[in-house]
Structure 1
Amino acid sequence: MSAQRRVLTESAETLTYMPGFGNDFETEALPGALPQGMNSPQKCDYGLYAEQLSGSPFTAPRTENERSWLYRMRPSVRHATKFQRIDMPYWRSAPCKDDSELPLQQLRWDPIPIPEGPLDFITGMRTITTCGDSDGQAGMASHVYLVNRSMDTDYFNNADAEMLIVPQEGAIRIFTEMGRMEIGPGDIAVIPRGMMFKVELIDAAARGYVCENYGGTFTLPDRGPIGANCLANPRDFKTPVAAYEDREGIDGRIVIKWGGSFHQAAIDHSPLDVVAWHGNYVPYAYDLRTFSPVGAILFDHPDPSIFTVLTAPSETPGTANVDFILFPDRWLVAENTFRPPWYHRNIMSEFMGLILGVYDAKPEGFKPGGMSLHNCMLPHGPDRDAFEHASNAELKPEKLENTMAFMFETRFPQHVTRYAANLEVRQDNYADCWRGLERKFDGTPGIK
């Protein structure tokens, strides 16, 4: 597949990406580094080592088989030996049901300030909720990252989960084994389980959200009766071309998350030494502004699932381990309809973040960089002001602009960490936003 130039964020360097989702890609940083017609020649060109990275069992059906062949300066077994266990007190894994004694309730947080002390993408990770079981490869965790320092000679490998990264403030560069991506607010990136990478700052500091998906990998949802177009189109996903880091004599380390715990090993060279690769187990980036939403054009508010960008399926058809759902700019045109999301109770649990602007169902109190949690079967919906406005507004075409909210939605109840429960930015009075929804019923027909 030919490469296409695409700038996801404004930077001094324009990176090259390959378009498409679920494709079998091939790319080389040096001419002839990628073997042709075979995967593992007796001797690879440039003195490289051939190594396969598998994201699925070898015997998975062809449509679900994920693997890539990497041609690197050293086999990865040379990158990480003699591990020592380390503590990451703010990064938690499921299950951690008893981490917090916070009573069951709807929850909302203001943005978490970025601390002054040095924090990189690993040390700046803060877990908000967990669910399922990382060892059982089911469920997820939601995090906020708070970063004011680039990773230089530290490298990370998450063996527990793939990572969906959602910037909210500040642009970052993600240097993976398979190439580099640059993303900022309005973009996302996905790093496959088991892939080494580091995160560097483009801006002075960065904050954003992470979904750690323990289950099956994210894929595009079926469109059903929507048909062949709209939602997230495959051509808008961007996979990086091969790029390598040739560094020797460094005082570095590799940190690996495995079985919910963290381990580190010293390293004197960069493990990002892949000169060429081919396959379909890849990192990718996506510009959320290219999402084409679909909605009601006569009456009723459509189900929020129609805004799904990516879904990680479970063994139960139609029930996601995780859905990533986006609420972007869009037109509201429905007739005789309460247009914001309706009041509801849901078997799925909803972790929501706000990237920019105002969320239409919560115009007050929900700030960019903030988050909310509406757990399994807990009622929620528009606050009083949103209800009154939507119930009495003139129903003419209205465009929601400069807004971008999202949800990590999962079939599992999400358990709040002690860190999240004790945050000063947790809103103790969140439930007050529904307090003014008084009884209007008086038994008189036609009263509205």
Structure 2
Amino acid sequence: MPAPMKEREPATDPTKIFHYTDLQRKKPTRENDPYTYMHGWNNRHQSEVIPGTLPVAQNNPQEVRFGLYTEGITYSAFAAPRAHNYSTYMYRVRPAAAHNGYKKIESKAHIQNCFLSLNPEVETLPEQAEWGPFPLPEDSDKIDFVDGLHTLGGSGDPNLREGMALYVYAINASMEKRAFCNTDGDFLICAQQGNLDVQTEFGMIFLQPGEICVIQRGVRFRIALGPGVEKARGYITEVWGSMWELPDLGPLGGHSLANPRDFLYPVAHIDEDLSGDWAVVNKNNGKYNCLEQDHSPFDLVAWHGNVVPYKYDLTKFASQNATSIDHTDPSVNTVLTAKSRDPNTPLADFLWFGPRWDVASNTFRLPYFHRNSASEFLACLYGEGLGRSDDFQPGGGSFEGGHTPHGGFSEAYVDEMRIQESEPRKILENQMTIMVESSRTFLWTEYARVGCGTTNTRGTDPKVWDTLPDRFSNNPEAKALLKRVKEDKKLMEERSKVYFDDGALKELLNSKTNGC
């Protein structure tokens, strides 16, 4: 008789699932997400707090309903091709232009955006580097997102609209009556510890560990700690002169990896109290300045367009892998990519390494040793991540520069090399690791090299390689065959002389004549 069917029970912990579908949700969000979203990558969405607010058949009517003001935000050039033209029309209570001017502010953040070789404050890390969990603020300090943002490294300069930067944020307070606006580039925010309530001009986004959120250049937002959260930490990848896009799928077809329908966009939302003093902190060319105003920046009653923040749950990633032999390249784990000016090389890729099946036959399944041309920054969001040592913990990171030799050294590398029948198995369970990969050479800030206090730049301890000794040099079969190779090579050299040496050819002809 067939084995009795085992009913599948819904999972409840998103950090312990194989895929989002294990939760058996009928909604596209986790159970504790309080907000409603719209679906669909790169659509021209529209939303309104009060139905009937959006103008019909035009963008800039003579009179907007309720006395609202029309305001536009552009992301691309006005005349950019339609497929690359980005803008949003907003209908708000007060214009953003109504403010009291800009001024400089002091901050506890460590912001560095000039990653050019002439900047003495940034340096390369020639060896592998590893960071323990980046420090969280002390309870005695009130650190919100503005003060808790710390640049780790990057390449290029936002003034040139060229390059990227890596950050870690570590906070223990919500932003109170102040908003943040990054005029340099696009933020890809990846939560590692603690839920975040992200209020944007276009609506609310709830961000949890294992989810990412992209906020475009010029969009205002406010980050608050989620309910019950005392401290939060995560990673940010900023791109300059580029934007985050879905990678092309090529022969994979129209579906897989990060599917377009799984990207969620906020619905219009306004503050209940739209009055009061507010500060809007701008990051411009890597420097903070601030403008003050007597009204909330979160007063969009309606909007329509395609410059809108969005979020994506990494547990929804539809992974692909080798189903017969060998490895697929890690590029198959790309969630989002940002193009460079070189059409064949991305500026940055954001990759996912989560639970998946490993089924390749007759194959060394572990990551083979490699010297990739890209710079690679890895971070573990939760669980036992895909790092090279036990020091690779959630909230920390590791780095390998371009063409730096790296790979694993565990006992599994010895076991996997034995001829055996390999059974299908699940790997990387109960954890999630991300990687930011770039074609650029990274330069690192003082905070990353020293200031954070969790840096290890010594590279891998040479003793770990004792588990992978030289098995070739004293192999009797290899030694015998090498001797034979040398003998055969010498014989071939003698025989090939007749093609290039007139004397050897004359001897050959004489031997043929004498042999007749």
Provide closer, same or farther for how the CA distance between residues 101 and 69 of structure 1 changes in structure 2, counting only shifts above 3 A. Answer: closer
Instruction: Indicate yes or no: 2:55 matched with 1:60.
Output: no
Give the fraction of aligned pairs with identical amino acids, expressed as a percent. 38
Find the counterpart in structure 1 of residue 424 from structure 2. Answer: 397
Find the counterpart in structure 2 of residue 442 from structure 1. Answer: 473
Find the counterpart in structure 1 of residue 325 from structure 2. Answer: 299
Find the counterpart in structure 2 of residue 109 from structure 1. Answer: 131
Cα distance, 1:432 vs structure 2: 1.2
Deviation track 1:31-50 (CA, whole Å, cap 9, x = no partner) reads 22111100000111111111
Find the counterpart in structure 2 of residue 408 from structure 1. Answer: 436
Instruction: Indicate yes or no: 2:212 matched with 1:188.
Output: yes
Bigger proportion of residues as strand: 1
Matched ranges for 1:148-163 at <5 A: 148-163=172-187
Provide closer, same or farther for how the CA distance between residues 337 and 260 of structure 1 changes in structure 2, counting only shifts above 3 A. Answer: same
Range with bigger deviation, 160-169 or 78-87: 78-87
Are 2:274 and 2:299, in contact at CA under 8 Å, matched by a contact in 1? no
Taking structure 2 as the reference length, the TM-score comes to 0.81
Range with bigger deviation, 236-245 or 434-443: 434-443
Cα distance, 1:18 vs structure 2: 0.2
Cα distance, 1:382 vs structure 2: 1.7
Amino acid in structure 1 at the alignment position of 2:93: M
Find the counterpart in structure 2 of residue 18 from structure 1. Answer: 38
Bigger proportion of residues as helix: 2
Q: For the residues of structure 2 that align with 1:262 and 1:208, how far apart are their CA atoms?
A: 21
Amino acid in structure 1 at the alignment position of 2:426: K
Provide closer, same or farther for how the CA distance between residues 217 and 80 of structure 1 changes in structure 2, counting only shifts above 3 A. Answer: farther
Amino acid in structure 2 at the alignment position of 1:149: A
Range with bigger deviation, 116-125 or 363-372: 363-372
> Which of 1 and 2 has greater Rg?
2
Q: For the residues of structure 2 that align with 1:19 and 1:446, how far apart are their CA atoms?
A: 62
| DSSP 3-state at the match of 1:326 | strand
Deviation track 1:73-116 (CA, whole Å, cap 9, x = no partner) reads 11111146233354565121132543245751111111113121
Amino acid in structure 2 at the alignment position of 1:406: I
Deviation track 1:181-232 (CA, whole Å, cap 9, x = no partner) reads 0011111110011000000101221111111111311111000011111101
Instruction: Indicate yes or no: 2:164 matched with 1:140.
Output: yes
Range with bigger deviation, 81-90 or 269-278: 81-90
Taking structure 1 as the reference length, the TM-score comes to 0.93
Cα distance, 1:163 vs structure 2: 0.5
Range with bigger deviation, 61-70 or 335-344: 335-344
Q: For the residues of structure 2 that align with 1:250 and 1:343, how far apart are their CA atoms?
A: 58
Q: For the residues of structure 2 that align with 1:47 and 1:145, how far apart are their CA atoms?
A: 39
Find the counterpart in structure 1 of residue 315 from structure 2. Answer: 289
Are 1:8 and 1:184, in contact at CA under 8 Å, matched by a contact in 2? no
Instruction: Indicate yes or no: 2:171 matched with 1:127.
Output: no
Amino acid in structure 2 at the alignment position of 1:153: K
Provide closer, same or farther for how the CA distance between residues 443 and 153 of structure 1 changes in structure 2, counting only shifts above 3 A. Answer: same
Q: For the residues of structure 2 that align with 1:213 and 1:101, how far apart are their CA atoms?
A: 20
Q: For the residues of structure 1 that align with 2:403 and 2:188, how far apart are their CA atoms?
A: 25
Find the counterpart in structure 2 of residue 419 from structure 1. Answer: 447
Deviation track 1:166-190 (CA, whole Å, cap 9, x = no partner) reads 0111100110000000011111110
Deviation track 1:8-33 (CA, whole Å, cap 9, x = no partner) reads 4615xx21100000001111001221
Find the counterpart in structure 1 of residue 194 from structure 2. Answer: 170
Amino acid in structure 2 at the alignment position of 1:259: N
Find the counterpart in structure 2 of residue 355 from structure 1. Answer: 381
Provide closer, same or farther for how the CA distance between residues 6 and 325 of structure 1 changes in structure 2, counting only shifts above 3 A. Answer: same
Matched ranges for 1:244-283 at <5 A: 244-283=270-309
Q: For the residues of structure 2 that align with 1:296 and 1:184, how far apart are their CA atoms?
A: 30
Cα distance, 1:375 vs structure 2: 1.2
Gaps of 5+ in 2: 1-25, 479-516
Cα distance, 1:311 vs structure 2: 0.7
Range with bigger deviation, 361-370 or 46-55: 361-370
Are 2:129 and 2:458, in contact at CA under 8 Å, matched by a contact in 1? no
Cα distance, 1:352 vs structure 2: 1.0
Q: For the residues of structure 2 that align with 1:385 and 1:45, how far apart are their CA atoms?
A: 69
Amino acid in structure 1 at the alignment position of 2:81: P
Q: Decide which of 355, 366, 375 is 1:329's aligned counterpart.
A: 355
Moved over 4 A (4+): 85-89, 100-103
Are 1:346 and 1:378, in contact at CA under 8 Å, matched by a contact in 2? yes
Range with bigger deviation, 63-72 or 78-87: 78-87
Q: For the residues of structure 1 that align with 2:357 and 2:455, how far apart are their CA atoms?
A: 32
Count of residues in correspondence between the two structures: 442
Q: For the residues of structure 1 that align with 2:438 and 2:99, how far apart are their CA atoms?
A: 35
Instruction: Indicate yes or no: 2:346 matched with 1:346.
Output: no
Deviation track 1:336-374 (CA, whole Å, cap 9, x = no partner) reads 222222221222211111112223463632111110111
Q: For the residues of structure 1 that align with 2:27 and 2:54, how far apart are their CA atoms?
A: 21
Cα distance, 1:128 vs structure 2: 1.1
Q: CA RMSD in A?
A: 2.1
Range with bigger deviation, 148-157 or 309-318: 309-318
Are 1:96 and 1:130, in contact at CA under 8 Å, matched by a contact in 2? no
